[in-house]
Amino acid sequence: MSLATIELAGVAKRFGAQVAVQGIDLSLQEGGCVGLVGHNGAGKSTLIKLMLGLLRPSAGTVRVLGEDPTGGASVRARREIGYLPDNVAFHPSMTGAETIGFYARLKREAPARGRALLQQVGLDEAARRRVGTYSKGMRQRLGFAQALLGHPRALLLDEPTTGLDPEFRLRFFGILADMRRAGTSVLLSSHALAELEGAVDRIVVIDHGRKLADGDIATLRAEAGLVPRLRASLANGQLPGWQQVAPGVFETSCPEPDILAFLKALPDKAGSVEILRPALDEVYAAILQGPQQNRGLGPSCAARFRVTAPAGPGESPGLRCRELHL
Ligand SMILES: Nc1ncnc2c1ncn2[C@@H]1O[C@H](COP(=O)(O)OP(=O)(O)OP(=O)(O)O)[C@@H](O)[C@H]1O
Ligand SMILES: [Mg+2]
């Protein structure tokens, strides 16, 4: 059975009258990956700093690798944590190689490991240039390489994808997958739920310091209560009970479990039918808005069906030609 690397129970953090986080329960297992999603000021960085022991909770308990990160016994545990801060800042007059070498010494790593990490994040050619000349994405890559030093058992990454180009973003999630296979737990924060699909196994949505949702993407979709819409194109005629949204185009809402039965029951005059599932950004917005039932929304995730003629009198039309647009 995998072990809990990070455990928060009833955690709150206040700065004077300002409540930054409250009532947070969160656990992360060995090899697990959690995406912490929330708007500006939601409490993401505060939670990460609580896990690092940079902040002390006002209430509740924080355990990282079995230790209280603010306690004296946490020194060993802290060496096994990799951290990428949200505003990564390095000395501008040091080169990339000097910078990673400096952090390698702090983490008691051989210099060769630093060089290998620079290569892994695509900075080998820029290694001899001063960090002050690096682009935003290059600084972010250097920060990521720094966080990977010391073979961490827990990786805490605060908005790690900021400034990364799409190609490196893919490589970044690939490196995280390799780390996870070796048992490292990963927690990363982001403003965009959509970029985390397929890359994390759980999403925690926080808003005004409170946890609003915690689960995989399918759970979040279900919790958002958004109902897919069906859009049918018709050369002529009407579809009773459907709303006409353009000449020859009709839409209706349909709960996910009923879609197939709904499609099979369609008259064959409905030439093609698209299923419009809510996009993840809409799921996120709906979770932030709070629970509502049967919301029908947005066309960003679609599956297209063509309805074939009935095989014989009295039979329902068949379904053919499925294209997925995700
Ligand atoms: N040292 C501090 N003193 C006072 N208030 C603070 C302090 N640090 C954070 N806060 C407040 O706590 C709340 C949560 O801030 P936090 O930085 O955790 O948000 P965040 O989710 O990381 O936001 P962002 O997406 O902008 O990085 C905010 O209202 C912020 O102003
Ligand atoms: Mg932050």
Q: Using a 6 Å cutoff on CB, does residue 87 contact ligand 1?
A: no
Confidence (pLDDT) at 180: 95
Gap from CA of 51 to ligand 1 centroid (Å): 15
Q: What is the mean pLDDT of the chain?
A: 86
Atom of ligand 1 nearest to the CA of 13: 12
Confidence (pLDDT) at 257: 84
Confidence (pLDDT) at 164: 94
**159 and 287 housed in the same domain:** no
**111 and 243 housed in the same domain:** no
18, 49, 205: which to mutate for ligand 1, most atoms within 8 A of CB? 18
- Residue 171 pLDDT more than 70? yes
**229 and 120 housed in the same domain:** no
How do strand 81-84 and strand 154-157 relate by DSSP bridges?
A: parallel
**31 and 171 housed in the same domain:** yes
Number of domains in the chain: 2
**To the nearest 10°, the Cα dihedral for 175, 180, 182, 183?**
150
Comparison of pLDDT for 304 and 189, the residue scoring more: 189
Confidence (pLDDT) at 169: 94
15, 56, 161, 162: which to mutate for ligand 1, most atoms within 8 A of CB? 15
Last-in-domain residue among 193, 222, 251: 222
Structural domain including 239 reads 224-325
pLDDT band per the 50, 70, 90 thresholds, residue 133: very high
**137 and 254 housed in the same domain:** no
In the sheet that holds 229-233, the strands lie side by side as 243-246, 249-253, 229-233, 272-277, 301-310, 317-325
Nearest bound ligand to the CA of residue 21: 1
Gap from CA of 189 to ligand 2 centroid (Å): 8
Atom of ligand 1 nearest to the CA of 42: 21
Question: Comparing C-alpha atoms, which of 13, 30, 75 is closest to residue 186?
Answer: 30
Q: Using a 6 Å cutoff on CB, does residue 36 contact ligand 1?
A: no
**48 and 110 housed in the same domain:** yes
Question: Comparing C-alpha atoms, which of 158, 200, 128, 125 is closest to residue 47?
Answer: 158
Last-in-domain residue among 222, 248, 270: 222
Nearest protein CA to atom 1 of ligand 1, as residue: 15
**9 and 71 housed in the same domain:** yes
CATH of the domain at 28: 3.40.50.300
Confidence (pLDDT) at 255: 85
Confidence (pLDDT) at 300: 41
- Residue 98 pLDDT more than 50? yes
Nearest protein CA to atom 11 of ligand 1, as residue: 20
**112 and 32 housed in the same domain:** yes
**95 and 209 housed in the same domain:** yes
Gap from CA of 214 to ligand 1 centroid (Å): 21
CA distance 113 to 82: 15
Confidence (pLDDT) at 256: 82
pLDDT band per the 50, 70, 90 thresholds, residue 177: very high
**173 and 228 housed in the same domain:** no
Gap from CA of 36 to ligand 1 centroid (Å): 14
Last-in-domain residue among 179, 201, 222: 222
**153 and 286 housed in the same domain:** no
